[in-house]
Structure 1
Amino acid sequence: MAPEPISESAGPAERRLVGVALNPAAPVDVLLRLLADGPPAVRMALARDRVLPGPVVDAIVAHPDGSTRGSFAENPYADPEQRARLVDDPEYRVRGRLAGEPRTDDVCMPRPLPDPTVVRIIETYESDLLWELNRLVSPGLRRAMPTHSSSKVRIMGVNASSWGSLTPEAREALSADPDPDVRDAVAASRHSYERLRDPAAVREALPGHPCHAHTHLLMYGALAPDVVAAALPRHAWLIALNAGLPPETVALLAAHPDPKVRTRVAARPDLGPAERGALAVDPEPAVRLAVSVHPALTEAERAAIDYEVGQDTSYGHSPVYDPESLPGPEDIRPLALSAHPLLRRRAARLPNLPADLVAILADDPDLGVRVLLGQNHPDAPAALLLRCFLEYTGCDRWHLTGHGNFPRTGLARFAGDGDPAVRRLALLDPGMAGDVADRLTRDPDPQVRADAARHPRLPRDRIAALLDDQELARWAAANPALPVATMYALTAAAEQAQS
């Protein structure tokens, strides 16, 4: 990950120190000196943007500067157990950065904090620091929240949306909880849940103007016929997402004049046979495509629909945070073997796709299937990953290179490619010739130049020359081939300049 952009006024000296801070070959004592005496931008890059050895982590956790500790709280490369050491930090801003999601880059995805740390945050942090915490809670802790030994955790685990999924036993226990604050939270959640399922209460609460509450009630509330009739002219697209509609309303929406409404209705699992048949011959291509993947259709019925699957611009990484939410093999196989590309794409996203199906989908004729498989499956083969990178130019393209199976040997052959991203790919090859890396430091693309400046096969005289380059000084200083003696000299020179 690159550090934050350095001010244009920063000179080569500060840029070089940022590079040394990010250099994977920098000795621990150099890193500790930078941490103790480096400028703020250097300390931030060191604390936030790289894997750190244990002694440096110890020094950051004990560092007197809250901004430095806060930068480490956002470090996605650090083990979550290391970041968790900041849970009782005395500064509000550090605790706030720990309670939020860590930063991400093209290949590094955030990992949740340990469950005991999350519990500690819930129990001790100010309430305004908890609004982002839901995204960091592990699936196991989330399921355990309503019955957790901590009353504050139980309160956080009970809300109107979760109340309906609780077992009768759990509801009864929470309603009789010994903590009055938990009982109050339970009463409020139960009240909201029950009102959302009461058509009269929804009618009474429905605002007369568009707003968040208006949208929420139309999408999730129990709607009386008169409420539906009044909202249909302007808000049919919202009502179409409401899972509790009676069949007659679903049929009415399936014949709606707006194709966007019909497209939404086509995805409803409760769509009747008559509506499915009508939408299968809808004049709008998007509607026919939407209904063609309906779970009630057979493969023969899908094949009879005149649909067309386009090549989307984005096939990104879709991390699965709860493995228990994944479908089982009996549900995955029909998707993977379907003639419909969209269903095969659904299967390709699943990290638990069986090995025999991985082999089949790795050679799928659909680009989306191949790329989604490469982006999301832990056993995606090397040949597929490289093919995906070369053929796909959309969102999360570089994420493919972070896969453990992505090939590196032989990539230097792409150094002359017309696509800057593919030339950058060539710089992942550890065996690239030094003269090629040298040439790429003069590439027209700035990211290619930066990657070339830190390639370990770059000749040392070129590395030395780039240390005085305003643009590439930090990347040259981050090159693991930079002599350790030079790292010491750069650090000492900066310390002398400050004294």
Structure 2
Amino acid sequence: MPPEQTWESAGPAERRLAGVALNPAAPVDVLLRLLADGPDAVRMVLARDRVLPGPVVDAVVAHPDRNTRGFFARNPYADPEQRARLVDDPEYRVRGHLSREPRADDVCMPRPLPDRTIVRIIETYEDDFLWELNRLISPGLQRAMATHPSPKVRRMGIGRLSWTSLTPDVRDALLADPDPGAREAADASRRSYARLRDPDAVRADLPAHHCHPRTHLLLYGALAPDVVTEAMSQDAWLIAANDSTPPETVALLAAHPDPEVRTRVARRPGLGPAERRALAVDPDPQVRLVLSVHPALSEAERAAIDYEVDQDEWYCHSPVYDPESLPDPEETRDLALSAHPLLRRRAARLPNLPADLVALLAEDSDLGVRVLLAQNHPDAPAALLLRSFLEYTGRDRWHLTGHGNFPRDGLARFADDEDPAVRRLALLDAATPPDTADRLTHDPDAQVRADAARHPRLPQDRIAALLDDEELSFRAAANPGLPVATMYELIAGAGRTP
């Protein structure tokens, strides 16, 4: 049964027990009883939606119900080493869940499995599951796949890495690999790259109709003059991004009537001075904006361009998974000190931004710079995190509250704010008065009510009353102020439910 259906089919008693399963104050004995005897919805919440004590993890991994183990395989709160214990699970579906990225919520971002577990999955899992591994393979493992001791890992690595990214020694080794599958994959990759760099082969392979292979060849293939001429009439936006497009054609594309084509030209790394000068005064604001961050421009040249940076954007948590992709310290400093907001936004996303630049960008005049710094830097200051939450209302806003430096003290002052998301902040404050928490359980916003039902200072009589509330019983049962004796009573009462 799908998780949504499992929850929808749960009755009031089951939902109360699911709340107990989520309760951070629930003793290990309570959790083990729920795991052993609880219905599907309870075991789903317990295994999937919280951090679990070690003895409960042991019981989940050994649980006879495959769905329970499968829920734990997708638990974003669990330590990856704990989830990795399921790698050799006998059940096909549990292994399938483990091979996918864990489900995430507004605060908790999934963490990847250990490299050795990914290798084990590649070596032993059904091929149907391997295509879903892409987002789970660490950059370090990906770089090592082509030379890995395991033949199956090498074969998969050849498919993930471009032929040009491999050193000549590695290419030669793969073409002579003792594993026939690796040799075949390497030879296919070599031949595919050779055809992509051969203008005659690209012409022969180019479909006449619009499709993915045509797009790929016009974007990345070596283009003969006649192919370029033909593409100018209907696919100019593709050849505008192709690094083999000749300079004289690039000059024509820089004056193309379609602003999307000119925008793509403005992104070309090797754009010449004449084209840069023309695009700097382009009539289209998007073209000018894209050109204004071209790496060949000086700060003075950027400042001379009439560009406008949009403030109405999403500033999201965007983790850097590959440390080797980070710019060097000098480039980082240049980005952070640029007068251009978009370049400072690039710097703000970098998790290794040094402390002096963190302090500088925390006071930046651009909202995007401040919020991206708050979303992505591990040492973002508390004052910046709160300010960013109050000023930014877009996607991943609540993710800011999950940052380790997000302030909790003094948030009760927001209990009467007109913005429901800001009222929720009051319920992160452990010192919020009981009467305020009580009042917020009647709030017009459903999420505020749900948070209030879990606040640890909610009066005991209100917690007891909410246990019979159809909407909030689940949250009330998850309240850490719920007496342990009541937890046992709920378990016993559910057992008597017909």
Q: Normalising by the residue count of structure 1, what TM-score does the alignment of the two structures yield?
A: 0.97
Say what the alpha-carbon RMSD is for the aligned residues.
1.3
- 1:88 lines up with 2:88 in the alignment: yes
Name the aligned partner's letter for residue 255 of structure 1.
A
Between 278-287 and 190-199, the greater mean CA deviation after superposition: 190-199
- 1:153 lines up with 2:161 in the alignment: no
Structure 1 residues 242-297: Cα deviation after superposition (integer angstroms, max 9, x where no partner): 23322222222211110111112111111100000000011111111111111111
- 1:55 lines up with 2:55 in the alignment: yes
Structure 1 residues 62-115: Cα deviation after superposition (integer angstroms, max 9, x where no partner): 111111111100000101111011111111111111001001111111111111
Shift of 1:40: 0.9
Q: Matched residues in 1 for 2:187 and 2:496: separation?
A: 65
Aligned to 1:476, the other structure's residue is in SS state: helix
Other-structure match for 1:357: 357
Shift of 1:240: 2.1
Unaligned segments of structure 2, at least 5 residues: none
- 1:418 lines up with 2:409 in the alignment: no
Other-structure match for 2:162: 162
Other-structure match for 1:483: 483
* Residues 115, 137 of structure 1: 8 Å contact kept: yes
Q: Matched residues in 2 for 1:256 and 1:395: separation?
A: 35
Other-structure match for 1:388: 388
Shift of 1:195: 1.2
Q: Matched residues in 2 for 1:7 and 1:149: separation?
A: 45
* Residues 138, 321 of structure 2: 8 Å contact kept: yes
Shift of 1:9: 5.9
Structure 1 residues 406-453: Cα deviation after superposition (integer angstroms, max 9, x where no partner): 000000100000000000111111110010000000001100000000
- 1:431 lines up with 2:393 in the alignment: no
Shift of 1:234: 2.2
Q: Matched residues in 2 for 1:85 and 1:242: separation?
A: 46
Q: Matched residues in 2 for 1:300 and 1:119: separation?
A: 50
Aligned to 1:353, the other structure's residue is in SS state: coil
How many residues align? The count is 496
Name the aligned partner's letter for residue 40 of structure 1.
D
Unaligned segments of structure 1, at least 5 residues: none
Identity %: 79
Q: Matched residues in 1 for 2:197 and 2:493: separation?
A: 70
Name the aligned partner's letter for residue 327 of structure 2.
P
Name the aligned partner's letter for residue 406 of structure 1.
F
Structure 1 pair 395–427 and aligned structure 2 pair: CA distance change class (3 A): same
Name the aligned partner's letter for residue 245 of structure 1.
T
Shift of 1:157: 0.8
Other-structure match for 1:187: 187
* Residues 10, 41 of structure 2: 8 Å contact kept: no
Q: Matched residues in 2 for 1:461 and 1:160: separation?
A: 59
Other-structure match for 1:282: 282
Other-structure match for 1:19: 19
Name the aligned partner's letter for residue 233 of structure 1.
S
Other-structure match for 1:134: 134
Other-structure match for 1:31: 31
Other-structure match for 2:302: 302
- 1:409 lines up with 2:409 in the alignment: yes
Q: Matched residues in 2 for 1:489 and 1:344: separation?
A: 57
Aligned to 2:134, the other structure's residue is in SS state: helix
Other-structure match for 2:244: 244
Other-structure match for 2:399: 399
Shift of 1:497: 2.8
Name the aligned partner's letter for residue 208 of structure 2.
G
* Residues 228, 245 of structure 2: 8 Å contact kept: no
Structure 1 residues 453-496: Cα deviation after superposition (integer angstroms, max 9, x where no partner): 00101111100000000000000000011000011111122223
Q: Matched residues in 1 for 2:425 and 2:209: separation?
A: 52
Other-structure match for 2:259: 259
Shift of 1:7: 5.1
Q: Matched residues in 1 for 2:73 and 2:253: separation?
A: 49
Shift of 1:159: 2.7
Other-structure match for 1:451: 451
Name the aligned partner's letter for residue 169 of structure 2.
E
Shift of 1:204: 1.3
Shift of 1:217: 1.4
Other-structure match for 1:64: 64
* Residues 107, 400 of structure 2: 8 Å contact kept: yes
Shift of 1:6: 6.7
| Correspondence list, 1:323-334, <5 A | 323-334=323-334
* Residues 161, 193 of structure 1: 8 Å contact kept: no
Structure 1 residues 140-180: Cα deviation after superposition (integer angstroms, max 9, x where no partner): 11111111110101111113752111111111111111111
Structure 1 residues 353-389: Cα deviation after superposition (integer angstroms, max 9, x where no partner): 1111111110000000100110111111000010000
Structure 1 pair 160–124 and aligned structure 2 pair: CA distance change class (3 A): closer
Aligned to 1:389, the other structure's residue is in SS state: helix
Q: Matched residues in 1 for 2:143 and 2:309: separation?
A: 38
Q: Matched residues in 1 for 2:242 and 2:425: separation?
A: 46
Q: Matched residues in 2 for 1:287 and 1:394: separation?
A: 25
* Residues 25, 480 of structure 2: 8 Å contact kept: yes
